[in-house]
């Protein structure tokens, strides 16, 4: 399979001529061997005297030697005139042979002024998949370099005939650098993220659609699903449907940032909180104010809340428990007391994200639905994790996103750690991600992390949880550009680019694998792992 640059083309939502080019990319990607690279939509602007020259190449195919074959694609109808093939556009017409000649001439000129690039062969062909050229001898192009509708099934064979495979030469690397750097063809990462987000939301939304079509009484559904399988979308769909029906939903989880996130995206009309927030609300509704300055404040909070009778104000028509792997049996019983007898109850969990070593909470008599498809994390991430997980904990790489390979950096000491994090930030920025797309996740909690207390790292200001809450109960964060969080607090959330750092396990045991799983699956596009040298050696040994 040929390599396509820029990446992410399969996810682009395009129509018209652009859609036809994407279809051609699929043909080239699947039909050409690994020795070929295809550059798509190569654009440039140059200055020649007093005139600006604008050029466009639909496809540039490169073999191992650095030789180039330029492909001009013309869809729809063409006119065969005495001057050759002509493509009609609104208000104007273009000579296809002249356009291709200029395209080749401009590219050769740009290569020629680069004295460091050895001479390479440059050729071109016309691809018109919708039109059969009746008189190829008068088309203005060599017939062998026209692939029309009658030969479109032979496109890849003709490309290989005009651009035969050759051995790598000193020009190869420089030609690729030329195409990447001098010609503007970088993917618009922000646009790609938008497309990727839409695609992942659409495919992972399948769980929300068919899980809600299940019918049984009473409705007690346990969903055991891996990260990125669509559990949050299912929870949101249930929450929204309950509100739209004029009823009240309750969403409960363990993790405060996840509860805050869900509350931001959920419609008004229900309650979304953590287990401890639910206890707190119950006490305050009863006229009591918890004292969180006491050393055993949370134990007191839970005990007192369990003693209170449940008023009608705290009875709900739909009850959704998220992060079920973190909910103990006593917590389960307390939460379930807030469901009306006829309520729908859903329990969402992922055993692989059990970071606290709690035993599975029994739900006897419940219907269980299992889904192991991860739609959110790019395939390289899922494939890495599959090699680390025990055989009975398999997950499926179902993401439509084609992403770069995982980058792994190591460090020996704290200063080396900081240097590596700064390097990882530069890698993310150079890949096109912005500061708000990036999350730095520590393998440790606040007590052990060297990063979570920092306000800045080099020129990058960091935004982190201070441990305090405002008068409205919202967490207080420091001022900064890039979010830094612990793997515990970021569980249940995601970011396009993730730097998972301070990874320094002594033994790659079950707990370490689970933390790696949670941190790595927070990424929806790019992942950088930063490990202590000993941990990096252990990870690479396990992978090989």
Which pLDDT score is estimated for 475? 76
Which pLDDT score is estimated for 52? 32
What is the spatial distance between Cα 215 and Cα 152, in angstroms, rounded to a whole number? 50
**Which residues on neighbouring strands pair with residue 347, listed in sequence order?**
222, 321
Domain that holds residue 326: 195-374
What is the spatial distance between Cα 253 and Cα 267, in angstroms, rounded to a whole number? 17
Which pLDDT score is estimated for 287? 95
Q: Would 315 be classed as within a structural domain?
A: yes
Find the mean pLDDT for residues 373-384: 86
142 with 251, same domain: the answer is no
- CB–CB of 251/343 below 8 Å? no
Which pLDDT score is estimated for 44? 42
Relative orientation angle of helices 155-162 and 16-31, to the nearest 10 degrees? 70
- CB–CB of 320/249 below 8 Å? yes
Q: Kindly tell me if the per-residue pLDDT of 123 is higher than 60.
A: yes
Dihedral over alpha carbons 445, 433, 406, 384 (to 10 degrees): 70
Q: Would 385 be classed as within a structural domain?
A: no
Among 136, 152, 187, which residue terminates a domain? 187
Find the mean pLDDT for residues 490-512: 93
Among 187, 214, 242, which residue terminates a domain? 187
Q: The domain spanning residue 478 has which CATH number?
A: 3.40.50.300
**Which residues on neighbouring strands pair with residue 62, listed in sequence order?**
37, 68
Q: What's the farthest any 2 CA atoms get from each other in the chain?
A: 94
Among 161, 187, 213, which residue terminates a domain? 187
Q: Would 259 be classed as within a structural domain?
A: yes
pLDDT 10s digits, 446-475:
889 999 989 999 999 999 988 777 766 567
Tell me the whole-structure pTM to 2 decimals. 0.64
- CB–CB of 125/71 below 8 Å? yes
Confidence of residue 234 (pLDDT cuts 50, 70, 90): very high
Find the mean pLDDT for residues 163-183: 81
Mean pLDDT for the chain? 86
367 with 414, same domain: the answer is no
Dihedral over alpha carbons 512, 514, 515, 519 (to 10 degrees): 140
Confidence of residue 400 (pLDDT cuts 50, 70, 90): low
Q: Which of 151-155, 219-223, 465-469 is predicted with the least confidence, judged by mean pLDDT?
A: 465-469
**What is the pairing mode between strands 465-469 and 475-477?**
antiparallel
Q: Which of 23-27, 366-370, 389-393 has the highest mean pLDDT?
A: 366-370
Compute CA distances 447 → 178, 444, 453, 466, whole Å: 48, 8, 9, 12
200 with 182, same domain: the answer is no
- Joined together, the tokens standing for residue 440 give 């730095």
What is the spatial distance between Cα 23 and Cα 10, in angstroms, rounded to a whole number? 9
**Which residues on neighbouring strands pair with residue 523, listed in sequence order?**
495
525 with 499, same domain: the answer is yes
213 with 180, same domain: the answer is no
- CB–CB of 195/22 below 8 Å? no
Residues 6+ apart with CB under 8 A from 49: none
Q: Would 468 be classed as within a structural domain?
A: yes
Q: Kindly tell me if the per-residue pLDDT of 192 is higher than 80.
A: no
Q: Kindly tell me if the per-residue pLDDT of 49 is higher than 60.
A: no
More confident residue, 483 or 51: 483
What is the spatial distance between Cα 526 and Cα 380, in angstroms, rounded to a whole number? 10
Which pLDDT score is estimated for 473? 59
Which pLDDT score is estimated for 520? 95
CA atoms within 13 A on the CB side of 346: 31
Which pLDDT score is estimated for 277? 94
Find the mean pLDDT for residues 524-532: 94
Q: Concatenate the DSSP letters of all residues of 286-348 into one string.
A: TT----TTSTTHHHHHHHHHHHSPPPGGG-EEEEEE-SGGG--HHHHHHHHTTEEEEEEEEEE
SS (H, E, C) 145-197: HEEECCCHHHHHHHHHHHCCCCCCCCHHHHHHHHHHHHCECCCCHHHHHHHHH
Number of domains in the chain: 3
Report percent pLDDT > 90 for the chain. 55
What is the spatial distance between Cα 395 and Cα 542, in angstroms, rounded to a whole number? 18
- Phi, psi torsion values for 251, nearest 5 degrees: -110, 125
For 264, the enclosing helix (H) or strand (E) is helix 256-265
Q: How many CB atoms lie within 10 A of CB 287?
A: 6
Which pLDDT score is estimated for 223? 96
Q: Kindly tell me if the per-residue pLDDT of 242 is higher than 60.
A: yes
pLDDT 10s digits, 307-331:
999 999 999 999 999 999 999 999 9
Confidence of residue 45 (pLDDT cuts 50, 70, 90): very low
Which pLDDT score is estimated for 303? 95
Which pLDDT score is estimated for 198? 54
- Joined together, the tokens standing for residue 68 give 């180039």
Q: The domain spanning residue 34 has which CATH number?
A: 3.40.1350
Q: Would 515 be classed as within a structural domain?
A: yes
More confident residue, 58 or 189: 58
Q: Kindly tell me if the per-residue pLDDT of 203 is higher than 60.
A: no
Q: Would 386 be classed as within a structural domain?
A: no
What is the spatial distance between Cα 411 and Cα 535, in angstroms, rounded to a whole number? 10
What is the spatial distance between Cα 395 and Cα 273, in angstroms, rounded to a whole number? 29
Q: Kindly tell me if the per-residue pLDDT of 185 is higher than 60.
A: no
Dihedral over alpha carbons 485, 520, 359, 271 (to 10 degrees): 50
The gap between the terminal CA atoms of the chain, to the nearest Å, is 25
Q: Which of 103-107, 229-233, 417-421, 527-531 is predicted with the least confidence, judged by mean pLDDT?
A: 103-107
Q: Kindly tell me if the per-residue pLDDT of 12 is higher than 80.
A: no
Find the mean pLDDT for residues 206-216: 84
Confidence of residue 108 (pLDDT cuts 50, 70, 90): confident
- CB–CB of 71/104 below 8 Å? no
Confidence of residue 178 (pLDDT cuts 50, 70, 90): confident
What is the spatial distance between Cα 431 and Cα 421, in angstroms, rounded to a whole number? 15
Dihedral over alpha carbons 251, 437, 414, 480 (to 10 degrees): -80
- CB–CB of 276/299 below 8 Å? no
352 with 437, same domain: the answer is no
More confident residue, 394 or 313: 313
Q: Would 44 be classed as within a structural domain?
A: yes
Which pLDDT score is estimated for 50? 33
Which pLDDT score is estimated for 186? 39
The residue length of the chain stands at: 544
88 with 110, same domain: the answer is yes
- Joined together, the tokens standing for residue 410 give 């190591």
Q: Concatenate the DSSP letters of all residues of 37-106 into one string.
A: EEEEEEEEEEEETTEEEEEEEEEEEE-TT--EEEEEE--S--EEETTEEEEEETTEEEEHHHHHHHHHHH
78 with 221, same domain: the answer is no
17 with 166, same domain: the answer is yes
Confidence of residue 11 (pLDDT cuts 50, 70, 90): low
Confidence of residue 191 (pLDDT cuts 50, 70, 90): very low
Find the mean pLDDT for residues 205-224: 88
- CB–CB of 502/442 below 8 Å? yes
Which pLDDT score is estimated for 401? 63
Which pLDDT score is estimated for 431? 82
416 with 521, same domain: the answer is yes
240 with 315, same domain: the answer is yes
What is the spatial distance between Cα 486 and Cα 225, in angstroms, rounded to a whole number? 22
Find the mean pLDDT for residues 420-441: 92
Q: Whose CA is closest to 350, among 476, 448, 200, 224? A: 224
Q: Would 351 be classed as within a structural domain?
A: yes
156 with 176, same domain: the answer is yes
Confidence of residue 403 (pLDDT cuts 50, 70, 90): low
């Amino acid at each position: 399979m040929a390599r396509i640059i820029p990446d992410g083309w399969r996810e682009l939502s395009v129509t018209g001529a652009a859609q036809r080019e994407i279809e051609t990319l699929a043909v080239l990607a699947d039909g050409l061997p690994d020795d070929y690279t295809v550059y798509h939509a190569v654009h440039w602007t140059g200055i020649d005297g007093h005139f600006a020259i604008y050029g466009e190449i639909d496809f540039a195919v490169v073999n191992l030697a650095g030789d180039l074959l330029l492909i001009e694609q013309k869809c729809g109808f063409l006119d065969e005139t005495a001057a050759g093939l002509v493509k009609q556009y609104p208000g104007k017409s273009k000579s296809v042979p002249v356009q291709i000649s200029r395209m080749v001439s401009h590219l050769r000129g740009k290569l020629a002024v680069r004295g460091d690039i050895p001479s390479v062969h440059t050729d071109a062909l016309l691809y018109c998949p919708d039109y059969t050229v009746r008189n190829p001898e008068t088309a203005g192009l060599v017939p062998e370099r026209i692939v029309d509708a009658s030969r479109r099934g032979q496109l890849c064979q003709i490309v290989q005939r005009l651009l035969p495979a050759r051995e790598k030469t000193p020009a190869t690397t420089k030609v690729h650098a030329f195409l990447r750097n001098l010609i503007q063809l970088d993917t618009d990462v922000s646009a790609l993220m938008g497309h990727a987000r839409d695609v992942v939301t659409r495919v992972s939304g399948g769980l929300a659609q068919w899980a809600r079509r299940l019918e049984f009484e009473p409705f007690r559904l346990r969903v055991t699903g891996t990260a990125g399988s669509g559990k949050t979308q299912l929870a949101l769909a249930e929450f929204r449907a309950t509100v739209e029906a004029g009823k009240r939903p309750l969403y409960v989880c363990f993790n405060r940032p996840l509860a805050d996130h869900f509350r931001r995206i959920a419609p008004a009309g229900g309650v979304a909180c953590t287990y401890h927030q639910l206890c707190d609300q119950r006490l305050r509704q009863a006229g009591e104010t918890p004292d969180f300055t006491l050393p055993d404040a949370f134990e007191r909070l839970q005990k007192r809340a369990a003693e209170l009778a449940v008023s009608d104000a705290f009875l709900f028509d739909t009850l959704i428990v998220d992060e079920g792997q973190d909910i103990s049996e006593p917590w389960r019983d307390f939460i379930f007391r807030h469901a009306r007898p006829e309520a729908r109850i859903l329990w969402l969990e992922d055993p692989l994200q059990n970071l606290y070593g709690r035993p599975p909470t029994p739900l006897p008599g419940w219907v269980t639905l299992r889904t192991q498809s991860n739609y959110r994390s790019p395939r390289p991430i899922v494939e890495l994790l599959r090699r680390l997980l025990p055989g009975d904990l398999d997950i499926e790489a179902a993401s439509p996103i084609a992403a770069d390979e995982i980058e792994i950096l190591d460090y020996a000491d704290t200063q080396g750690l900081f240097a590596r994090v700064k390097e990882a930030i530069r890698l993310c920025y150079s890949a096109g991600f912005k500061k708000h797309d990036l999350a730095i996740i520590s393998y440790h909690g606040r007590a052990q992390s060297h990063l979570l207390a920092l306000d800045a790292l080099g020129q990058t200001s960091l935004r982190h949880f201070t441990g305090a809450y405002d008068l409205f109960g919202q967490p207080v964060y420091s001022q900064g550009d890039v979010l830094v969080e612990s793997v515990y607090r970021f569980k249940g959330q995601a970011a396009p680019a993730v730097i998972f750092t301070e990874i320094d396990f002594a033994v790659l045991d079950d707990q370490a694998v689970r933390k790696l799983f949670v941190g790595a699956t927070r990424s929806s596009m790019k992942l950088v792992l930063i490990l202590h040298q000993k941990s990096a050696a252990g990870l690479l040994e396990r992978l090989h």
